[in-house]
């Protein structure tokens, strides 16, 4: 997968945010709903895996511009007069994922206890600043 990101075979990365409640996950494996909580760790996971292989600007594009392009949507520019809808992050911040870091209703993540690189600081959305 990393090779595909680096050579352009994989155009974009996204997080399919569909949280499941605990009851749908704590079943026998074959009966449990599939998937993990990844919206809180998607970028940091990709940053950690590709840090020495894919430059930061390209990784950011894989999460931002490239998905919009693949979906036939125009790129949103950060410029005066446009309403900000961005995530501010420290691309080199190392952190260990805990269940408390996951803001989703679902806490199902294989990354709990893992060290990742790249930590969100705040989100600016519709004029509201939310610190993380």
pLDDT, tens digit, 9 for 90 and up, residues 43-94: 999 999 999 999 999 999 999 999 998 899 988 888 888 888 889 999 999 9
CATH level 3 topology of 2-131:
TIM Barrel (3.20.20)
Work out the number of other CB atoms within 10 angstroms of the CB of residue 38.
21
Average pLDDT rounded to a whole number, residues 35-48: 88
Which DSSP letter does residue 84 get?
P
Distance CA 126, CA 119 (A): 21
Model confidence at 106, in pLDDT bands (50, 70, 90)?
confident
Which DSSP letter does residue 101 get?
G
Q: Is 109 exposed, middle or buried (0-12, 13-18, 19+ CB in 10 A)?
A: buried
Catalytic residues: 16
* 44 torsion bin: left (phi>0), alpha (psi -120 to 50), beta (else): alpha
The reported pTM is 0.83
Distances (CA, A) of 129 to 22, 24, 81, 85, 104: 30, 33, 17, 10, 18
- Three-class SS of residue 44? helix
Work out the number of other CB atoms within 10 angstroms of the CB of residue 8.
10
* 56 torsion bin: left (phi>0), alpha (psi -120 to 50), beta (else): alpha
């Amino acid at each position: 997968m990393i090779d595909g990101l680096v050579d352009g075979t994989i155009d974009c990365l996204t997080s399919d945010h569909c949280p499941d409640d605990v009851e749908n996950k704590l079943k026998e494996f074959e009966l449990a709903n599939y998937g993990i909580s990844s919206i809180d760790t998607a970028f940091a996971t990709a940053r950690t895996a590709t840090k020495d292989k894919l430059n930061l600007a390209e990784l950011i594009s894989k999460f931002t511009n490239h998905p919009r392009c693949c979906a036939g949507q125009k790129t949103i520019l950060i410029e005066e007069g446009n309403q900000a809808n961005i995530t501010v992050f420290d691309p080199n911040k190392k952190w260990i994922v805990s269940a408390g870091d996951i803001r989703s209703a679902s806490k199902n993540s294989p990354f709990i206890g893992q060290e990742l690189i790249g930590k969100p600081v705040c989100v600016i959305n519709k004029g509201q600043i939310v610190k993380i």
